[in-house]
Structure 1
């Protein structure tokens, strides 16, 4: 509010440049969106079988490059090939949806998705709820091994006041009151920090590794 509606947000990657952009005025009308696609890109969302889904449906987000180039990762032809649904149609590894006006919304990273008992769970949904807890300064949800379900969702939480005693069950209860039970973490672990980079990014593979190096557990 202090600056006013003067910002333009861009979404894309170093290897392809900007794929979507949105002005402040547009964002106020489509909160949470990264904007509409810019030429030469056209967005599309597909299901697990690679079939395009209707607007508003969550799935794997792809972009069609009208030049036919797609995305190219220098020195890594295998990664470049894996990113393409077909020539010129590529993904940056995100899940998302497109509204009826063509605005793109990012849900989560495909690599961060947790499959628990055959159900796809998107950590970002729980993270967006938990960050609203007054005692939570930062949070990351990850998939950890579970003997029966394959994986379960765990929340790694950084407290706003490390000296304050906060019960993990209180944090879980906060999520359960605001999100479907199956989308909430089953366990909470308090940590000092999440190892964010200067760009604010989290290496979830690194966060997951201590649990995947240990035997699977069964939570209540």
Structure 2
């Protein structure tokens, strides 16, 4: 059975970046739900995952992701998956437009999930084979990120820096290939959902309290009564 069907694309958003991010989330869920995930994914699933994401990413970032080859699928798949996770994180935390606030309020529901994922990512870094000085640098950023989540206010610049550094630092390590892509993608998804809800709320608050005034047709001209005939 294929990882994705034609009708799956109908439910994706129209905006290209959001469309690609949701497509990757869908493919990740299909991989994780696969009966073969624990015992070992079949080559066809690895090829489909990489080729679908590689081709669709061309509309956003040309030549960003190169699909894995048939002959080396087993050796190349984990690295491709890591690069896809890093691209998802980068796209999710693009700088905001001028005039937008850099602080994102975080709801209590998202706060709990984010703390859990940040702690999980911290454990992944701790168990990785990174040099101690690199671990400390990542720990510092994750600690600051966790503090902001606890305060229910995220600094976008710090979040981007923390996630991007984690993704870059852990690419190629055994622990990253096993667990980090999912943790990073989950953090990106949670913050993306919080941002979407925040923007919707801002749009509602920006609506005027008074009813909108439609453009009315001109009133009918008052006609004088016809003169009486004696």
Over alpha carbons, which structure has the higher Rg? 2
Which structure: greater strand fraction?
A: 1
Which structure: greater helix fraction?
A: 2
- TM-score under structure 2 length normalisation: 0.26
- TM-score under structure 1 length normalisation: 0.27
State the structure with bigger RCO (CA 8 A, min sep 6), 1 or 2.
Answer: 2
